[in-house]
Amino acid sequence: MTQKTFTPTVQSKSDKKWYIIDATDKVVGRLATEIAVYLRGKNKPTFTPHLDMGDYVVVINADKVRLTGNKEAQKEYIHHTGYLGHLRRKPYAKVMAEHPTRILESAVAGMIHHNKLKKFILAKLHVYAGSEHPHSGQNPIPLNV
Protein backbone atom coordinates (compact mmCIF):
# COMPACT_ATOMS: atom_id res chain seq x y z
CA MET A 1 0.00 0.00 0.00
CA THR A 2 1.44 3.35 -1.00
CA GLN A 3 1.34 6.41 1.20
CA LYS A 4 -0.27 9.58 -0.03
CA THR A 5 1.65 12.82 -0.11
CA PHE A 6 0.72 15.20 2.69
CA THR A 7 -0.66 18.47 1.36
CA PRO A 8 -1.32 21.15 3.98
CA THR A 9 -4.45 23.26 3.86
CA VAL A 10 -4.85 26.92 4.74
CA GLN A 11 -4.67 27.55 8.47
CA SER A 12 -7.44 29.36 10.27
CA LYS A 13 -6.70 32.76 11.81
CA SER A 14 -6.69 31.22 15.30
CA ASP A 15 -3.77 28.93 14.35
CA LYS A 16 -1.53 31.81 13.33
CA LYS A 17 0.89 33.31 15.82
CA TRP A 18 1.66 36.96 16.47
CA TYR A 19 5.28 38.12 16.68
CA ILE A 20 6.66 41.49 17.77
CA ILE A 21 9.98 42.92 16.58
CA ASP A 22 11.78 45.96 17.95
CA ALA A 23 13.45 47.69 14.97
CA THR A 24 15.71 49.98 17.01
CA ASP A 25 19.15 50.26 15.33
CA LYS A 26 18.44 47.41 12.91
CA VAL A 27 19.55 47.57 9.27
CA VAL A 28 16.50 47.91 7.01
CA GLY A 29 17.30 45.19 4.47
CA ARG A 30 18.41 42.56 6.95
CA LEU A 31 15.37 43.18 9.12
CA ALA A 32 13.05 43.05 6.10
CA THR A 33 14.31 39.60 5.09
CA GLU A 34 13.60 38.20 8.56
CA ILE A 35 10.13 39.75 8.59
CA ALA A 36 9.38 38.33 5.13
CA VAL A 37 10.31 34.81 6.31
CA TYR A 38 7.76 34.95 9.15
CA LEU A 39 5.07 36.59 6.99
CA ARG A 40 5.34 33.88 4.32
CA GLY A 41 5.65 31.03 6.84
CA LYS A 42 9.00 29.76 5.57
CA ASN A 43 10.06 29.10 9.16
CA LYS A 44 7.48 26.31 9.46
CA PRO A 45 7.98 22.68 8.44
CA THR A 46 4.60 22.72 6.67
CA PHE A 47 5.53 25.63 4.35
CA THR A 48 3.74 25.52 1.01
CA PRO A 49 4.57 28.16 -1.62
CA HIS A 50 1.06 28.47 -3.04
CA LEU A 51 -0.69 28.96 0.33
CA ASP A 52 -0.62 31.79 2.86
CA MET A 53 0.97 29.90 5.76
CA GLY A 54 2.59 32.87 7.52
CA ASP A 55 2.07 34.53 10.87
CA TYR A 56 1.32 38.10 11.90
CA VAL A 57 4.26 40.44 12.55
CA VAL A 58 4.14 43.69 14.54
CA VAL A 59 7.15 45.99 14.17
CA ILE A 60 7.68 48.80 16.67
CA ASN A 61 10.17 51.70 16.61
CA ALA A 62 10.30 51.70 12.81
CA ASP A 63 11.50 55.30 12.91
CA LYS A 64 14.79 54.13 14.46
CA VAL A 65 15.95 51.83 11.64
CA ARG A 66 19.24 52.57 9.93
CA LEU A 67 20.85 52.18 6.53
CA THR A 68 24.41 51.18 5.73
CA GLY A 69 26.95 53.08 3.68
CA ASN A 70 25.91 56.28 1.92
CA LYS A 71 22.31 55.18 1.37
CA GLU A 72 20.89 57.89 3.67
CA ALA A 73 22.21 60.54 1.29
CA GLN A 74 21.75 58.65 -2.00
CA LYS A 75 18.64 56.46 -1.69
CA GLU A 76 15.47 57.64 -3.45
CA TYR A 77 11.96 56.22 -3.51
CA ILE A 78 10.64 56.37 -7.07
CA HIS A 79 6.98 56.21 -8.10
CA HIS A 80 5.42 56.69 -11.54
CA THR A 81 1.82 57.92 -11.70
CA GLY A 82 1.19 56.47 -15.13
CA TYR A 83 1.08 59.83 -16.92
CA LEU A 84 3.83 60.98 -19.27
CA GLY A 85 6.58 62.79 -17.41
CA HIS A 86 5.11 62.08 -13.99
CA LEU A 87 7.99 60.23 -12.40
CA ARG A 88 8.05 61.13 -8.70
CA ARG A 89 11.25 60.89 -6.66
CA LYS A 90 11.56 61.35 -2.91
CA PRO A 91 14.84 61.20 -1.03
CA TYR A 92 15.16 58.87 1.96
CA ALA A 93 15.31 61.75 4.47
CA LYS A 94 12.00 63.22 3.28
CA VAL A 95 10.21 59.85 3.36
CA MET A 96 11.60 59.17 6.84
CA ALA A 97 10.37 62.56 8.07
CA GLU A 98 6.86 62.23 6.57
CA HIS A 99 6.12 58.48 6.77
CA PRO A 100 8.76 56.54 8.76
CA THR A 101 6.80 53.29 8.56
CA ARG A 102 6.74 53.35 4.76
CA ILE A 103 10.49 52.62 4.56
CA LEU A 104 10.19 49.24 6.23
CA GLU A 105 6.87 48.42 4.56
CA SER A 106 8.30 48.97 1.07
CA ALA A 107 11.43 46.96 1.89
CA VAL A 108 9.34 43.99 3.06
CA ALA A 109 6.96 44.34 0.10
CA GLY A 110 9.89 44.05 -2.27
CA MET A 111 10.87 40.73 -0.71
CA ILE A 112 7.46 39.07 -1.06
CA HIS A 113 6.66 37.27 -4.32
CA HIS A 114 4.70 39.41 -6.76
CA ASN A 115 1.61 37.25 -7.12
CA LYS A 116 -2.02 37.10 -5.96
CA LEU A 117 -1.02 36.20 -2.38
CA LYS A 118 1.10 39.31 -1.87
CA LYS A 119 -1.67 41.62 -0.63
CA PHE A 120 -2.88 39.00 1.85
CA ILE A 121 0.62 38.40 3.16
CA LEU A 122 1.36 42.12 3.54
CA ALA A 123 -1.96 42.63 5.35
CA LYS A 124 -0.46 40.66 8.25
CA LEU A 125 2.37 43.19 8.65
CA HIS A 126 1.76 45.98 11.17
CA VAL A 127 4.46 48.66 11.39
CA TYR A 128 4.46 51.45 14.00
CA ALA A 129 6.85 54.38 14.33
CA GLY A 130 6.77 54.49 18.14
CA SER A 131 6.88 51.84 20.82
CA GLU A 132 3.08 51.79 21.30
CA HIS A 133 0.86 49.36 19.38
CA PRO A 134 -2.78 48.25 19.70
CA HIS A 135 -2.05 44.50 19.41
CA SER A 136 -1.28 43.69 23.04
CA GLY A 137 -4.48 41.62 23.23
CA GLN A 138 -2.99 39.07 20.82
CA ASN A 139 -0.01 38.47 23.18
CA PRO A 140 2.70 38.80 20.51
CA ILE A 141 5.84 36.71 21.00
CA PRO A 142 9.03 38.85 21.02
CA LEU A 143 11.53 37.99 18.28
CA ASN A 144 15.24 38.80 18.39
CA VAL A 145 16.40 39.24 14.82
Task: Decide if 35 is inside a domain.
Answer: yes
Query: What DSSP designation does 140 have?
Result: P
pTM of the model: 0.92
How many domains are there within the chain? 1
The beta strand positions in 2-144, using DSSP E, are 18-22, 56-60, 76-80, 87-91, 125-127, 141-143
The CATH number of the domain holding residue 43 is: 3.90.1180.10
The whole domain housing 59 covers 17-67+101-143
pLDDT in tens, the chain (145 residues): 788 888 888 877 778 999 999 999 999 999 999 999 999 999 998 888 999 999 999 999 999 999 999 999 999 999 999 999 999 999 999 999 999 999 999 999 999 999 999 999 999 999 999 999 999 999 999 999 8
Residue 88 falls inside a structural domain: no
